A and B are shown apart, each in its own frame.
Chain A
Amino acid sequence: MMRTPAIQGLRDGTPIAMGYFAVAFSLGIIAVKAGLTAPLGFISSAFTRASAGEYGTYMLIAAGATYAEIAAMCLVTNLRYMLMSAALSQKIAPGTSWVHRMLMAACITDEVFGISVAWPGYTPPAYTYAAALISTLFWASGCAMGIMAGSLLPETMVTALSMSLYGMFLAIIIPPARKDRNVLGALVVSIVLSGLAAAAPVVGEWSSGMRTVVLTILISAAAAWLKPVKDENDGAA
């Protein structure tokens, strides 16, 4: 009986794993700039499992940022996982052991969370584990491959591949903006202010990680104050 959710998890996790491999490959190309070796990239990606967070971390390492900046960057770029963890806590059967609850929380990525909460009723831990296992394997190997092969590819191809990461970001943020006008508004404001901040005299001198952290907190707080969310049970992003 326990094998059914696991097999289903592997099946649902496979297309995610394919996408992860491609995106992680371009992440690996960026990780090279931060001085990561393939084994280090594999370990880093296997245990962090966060596209935007890893991207931000590698960019900061490459720029020689401080530990505080890296911690702040990880906190802000991954803050959505807090919301997902909170939402997933509602999908675990009462009486499930503390170990399972913690392990399921550790499995969270945008996509693994997405399919886990889509499970009808309480999500079996095995389903989440199986999907996380296969997708993490491809994510980590993709990153390691990007680190190894990235330097062999011609410059035009490396540039093109590094654009895939931004494409993935767009695929995450644009569809919800179609459904929610407030999200659309927040995105437009973010793009305008981010462009202005990068060109501005003093703020433009800050590291891009610092600008990301400050802009995210300011814009999200303003949006939360001006346009608070309505439904109690509509927490999941």
Chain B
Amino acid sequence: MEQHSIIICIALAIVVTNLIRLIPMACIKGPIRHRFVRSFLYYVPYVTLAVMTFPDMILTPPSLTTGIAALTAGIAAAWMRLGLLPVAAICSLITYFLNSSGI
């Protein structure tokens, strides 16, 4: 892709992302009442991130075994509420060691 269209893509991402942040603040005077809207917004973050993580995460390393091991360890670490940095580090380290030991 050409340089100028990359810039348009990024400008588009910046505008859309920030409008999402600003619009509710500008519009909402009280709490959201509509039950379906609230429920939909409640589930969206989890579903999006789950869909983006799987199957891409297990397909990223050269071997499926490594990917599955990193995913499993990451889920376990996150389940134990280890926090953003430790969970990210665990996934990286497992991938690095399994990958460089040729598994």
Interface, chain A (partner B; CB < 8 A) = 15, 18-19, 22-23, 26, 34-36, 40, 43-44, 47-50, 52-57, 60-61, 64, 67, 70-71, 74-86, 88-90, 101-102, 104-106, 108, 111, 156-157, 159-178, 182-183, 186-187, 190-191, 193-195, 198, 208, 211-212, 215-216, 219-221, 223-225, 227-229, 232-233, 235, 237
Contacts and interface: CB of A to CB of B under 8 A. Distances in A.
B35 A228 contact: yes
Chain B at the A interface: mostly helix, strand, loop or mixed? Answer: helix
Given A35-B1, A82-B23, 8 more contacts: A166-B57, A167-B90, A169-B50, A172-B84, A175-B78, A195-B55, A208-B52, A229-B35
A118 B13 CA distance: 28
Interface in B19-73: 20-26, 28, 31-33, 35-36, 38-57, 60-62, 70-71
Contacts of B83: 19, 171
B58 to A, nearest CB: 9
Contacts of B20: 74-75, 78-79, 81-82, 85
B75 to A, nearest CB: 6
Contacts of B93: 160
Given A35-B1, A160-B93, A163-B60, A55 B52 contact: yes
A44 B17 CA distance: 11
Interface of B: 1, 3, 6-10, 12-14, 16-18, 20-26, 28, 31-33, 35-36, 38-57, 60-62, 70-71, 74-75, 77-79, 81-85, 87-93, 95-96, 99-100
A235 B31 contact: yes
Instruction: Give the most central of A22, A89, A161, A182: most B CB within 10 Å.
Output: A89
Chain A at the B interface: mostly helix, strand, loop or mixed? Answer: helix
Contacts, number: 296
Nearest to B38: A229
A83 B92 contact: no
Contact of B89 (A167, A173, A224): A167
Contacts of B40: 220-221, 224
A83 B41 contact: yes
